[in-house]
Amino acid sequence: MLASNSQLDSWIAERVGTAFHLMGTCPMGPASDPSAVVDARCQVHGLAGLSVVDTAILPVPVSRGPAATAIMIGERAAKFFG
Q: Taking a C-beta distance cutoff of 8 angstroms, is the pair 74, 59 a contact? A: no
Task: Give 45-81 pLDDT, tens digit per residue.
Answer: 999 999 999 999 999 988 888 999 999 999 999 999 9
Using CA atoms, how far residue 10 sits from 1, 7, 15, in Å, is 13, 5, 9
Active site members: 21
**Could you report the per-residue pLDDT of 15-48, keeping only the tens digit for each?**
988 778 889 999 999 999 999 999 999 999 999 9
CA distance 51 to 1: 54
Q: What is the pTM of this model?
A: 0.72
